[in-house]
Structure 1
C-alpha cells in the first residue's frame, strides 16, 4: 500500500481520457524546492538547457512537479539524487534531439562511457557537455554507493537506451515502430529508477515474469508521448522524427488531424490492454511484496506521465529555446 503519496483527483479534467491512477509525493513542496535549486545551480543561466528546465519546472509549481508525480513512493533522499541524475539526462536529451544524428550519437557514447569507472581518466571538453560528463560520474558514484545492485540495473537499461538513436529509420509499419519506441521512450530506464528509489530488488525470474506487462506499459507510454508531444515536435528543427503521428500520416497519407485522432484511438486501446494485464496480475496469488509494489508503481508512473504531459506547458504550450531568444 502507498505510504509516501496521496491520490490526485483527475475527475474534473475534461481532456483527461486516461484511467491510470495518479498520485503525488507527500513532500512535493520540498521536491519542488530542491528541483529549482538544482536547475539554477547546475545550468548556465540563459542556456538552452536552463531555459528548458525552467519551463519544465518553474511554471508548474509543486502540484505538478514531474518527479513528485512520477516517483510518488520514492524515499525522499533517494529522490533528490534521482532528480540530479534525471535532470542531467534531460538536459542532454533536450540539446541532442536537435543536433545532427551523427553528433547526437557521439555525445551519447561519451555519456555512456561515463557510467563506468574505467573511463574516468578520459579527458572531457571544457564546455557545458564536459561539465555534464563530470557531474554524471559524481552522481554515478553516489547512486552506486547507496544501492550497488540497483545501480547495475540502471546501468544496464541506460546501456540499452543511450545508443538507441542508431536504430532509427523510416518505419514500414506501426508495430515495428512501437517495438523500438517502448525502449526509445525510456521505459526500462524509468522503471529501473522506480526499483532503485524504493529499494525494490526483484529476482531474475520476477523480472522475466513482469516483462510483458512492463513492455505493454512501454508501448502505452510511447504512444502517449507521441500524442502529447506532437505539437512540440512537429516544428522542431531535426533530421529525424520519432513519432507515430508522423508515421501514420506518411503510411496512410492521412491529414494531420486524422492521424492525431488515430493515435489517440490506438492509445486508448493499448491502455485497455495494460489495465486488463494489471487486473490479472493483482489477482495472481503468491507474488512477493516487492513485486506487488513495483506493479502498483508502474501504474502510478504511467498515470503521472499522462497527467503531467496533459497539463504541463512543455507540451501544452511548447516554446522554442534557442540560446539567443
Structure 2
C-alpha cells in the first residue's frame, strides 16, 4: 500500500506528452510536506532576487502537477521531505554551475563536496557561489547522522560520487551512444535511483540476481528520463550562452548531419523505443516466480518516476515558456 493516496492523471488532453507510461501523483496529500521542504531549500541555497532563486521559484509553477508529487509518489511520508531537499538542491546546483566556465564549475563542485565530510566542518571557505548550498548540505548530513541509519550513510556516499562526476568531462560528443553514459551521470541518476530506494525503505543493494534485474530497469529508465529532459529543454537551452552544450539534440545533429528539428524528432522516436524495453522488462518480471516485493515495488517506482518526469517536462512553463533576461532583472532594473 502506498504511503500516500495516489491520483491517476489523465494525460489524453496533453498533446506534448507522448509517453505511454501511466502518470500518478501524491500531491493532494503531500503538498504541505513538499511546500515546506521547498521553501527551506530555496531560501537556504539562494539569495533574494538572485537568478537562481527566480529559476527555482519558476520551476515550481507548473499547474499540471508538482515535480515531486509526480516523480516520487511512493516515498515514505517521513522521508519525502529529504527527497525534495536533495533533488531541489541538485537542481539549484545545476542552475548555478551551468552559468560558470567548465574549470570554475569543477572547483565549485569540489568545495561543495566538503559538506559531506566531518573533517571539513571547521573549514569556513564557501567558494565563490556555493556557500549557502554547502551549509545546507552539511546540515542535512548532520541531521541524517543523528538517525544512525547505515543506509543513509551509503546514500550520502553516492551523492558525493555524483557531485564529483557530474559535469566533469570537457568535450563534445560525436554519437548518442557515447553521450548517454555522460547524460545519466550529469542527471545524478545513480543518486536518484538510490534516493528512490532509500525513500521507500528498500535496501540500497538487493540480492545478486535481483540487483542485476534492477540495474536493467535503472539503465532503461535512465536513458528515458535523460533524453526526455533533453527533448523538452532544447528550446530553452539552444540560445543560452555557455562553453559546453549538454543535450542529445546537437549530438544527433552532428552524428547524422541533421537540422535541429529533425534531430529532435529522431530523439522522440528513440525515447519511444526505449519505452518498449520497459514493457519487455515488465513481461519478464511477470513470468518470474522469484521476484521479491522489494524489487516489484522498486521497478514500479522507477516507472512512475519516468512517467511523472516526462509529464512534468511536457507541461512545465520552464520549458514551454523559458525565462528571459527581463525575468531576471533586479528591482532596480539591473540583471541579476
Q: TM-score normalized by structure 2?
A: 0.88
* Residue of structure 2 in register with 1:197 after alignment: 199
Change over 3 Å in CA distance of 1:277–1:50 after alignment to 2: same
1:49 corresponds to 2:33: no
* Residue of structure 2 in register with 1:241 after alignment: 245
Change over 3 Å in CA distance of 1:81–1:185 after alignment to 2: closer
Pick the aligned partner of 2:259 from 255, 265, 269.
255
Q: TM-score normalized by structure 1?
A: 0.91
Q: Select between 116-125 and 221-230 the one with higher mean Cα deviation.
A: 116-125
* Residue of structure 2 in register with 1:297 after alignment: 301
3-state DSSP of counterpart to 1:7: strand
In the TM superposition, what is the alpha-carbon distance from 1:294 to its structure 2 partner? 0.6
3-state DSSP of counterpart to 1:217: helix
What does 1:1-325 align with in structure 2 at a 5 Å threshold? 1-4=1-4, 5-25=6-26, 26-35=28-37, 37-38=39-40, 41-42=43-44, 43-57=46-60, 59-61=61-63, 64-125=65-126, 129-146=130-147, 148-162=149-163, 163-201=165-203, 202-203=205-206, 205=208, 206-320=210-324, 322=328, 324-325=334-335
Q: Select between 12-21 and 144-153 the one with higher mean Cα deviation.
A: 144-153
Mapped to 2, the partners of 1:17 and 1:23 lie a distance apart of 16
- 8 Å CA contact 2:34–2:81 kept in 1: the answer is no
3-state DSSP of counterpart to 1:262: helix
Mapped to 2, the partners of 1:36 and 1:125 lie a distance apart of 22
In the TM superposition, what is the alpha-carbon distance from 1:275 to its structure 2 partner? 2.3
- 8 Å CA contact 1:28–1:65 kept in 2: the answer is no
Mapped to 2, the partners of 1:12 and 1:153 lie a distance apart of 42
CA displacement 1:188-239 (0-9 Å, x = unmatched) = 1111111111111143523344112211111111111110110111111111
In the TM superposition, what is the alpha-carbon distance from 1:112 to its structure 2 partner? 2.0
Change over 3 Å in CA distance of 1:211–1:86 after alignment to 2: same
Mapped to 1, the partners of 2:293 and 2:187 lie a distance apart of 28
Aligned residue-pair number? 323
- 8 Å CA contact 1:174–1:244 kept in 2: the answer is yes
3-state DSSP of counterpart to 1:166: coil
Change over 3 Å in CA distance of 1:40–1:255 after alignment to 2: closer
CA displacement 1:231-272 (0-9 Å, x = unmatched) = 111111111011110111122221111111111111111111
In the TM superposition, what is the alpha-carbon distance from 1:296 to its structure 2 partner? 0.5
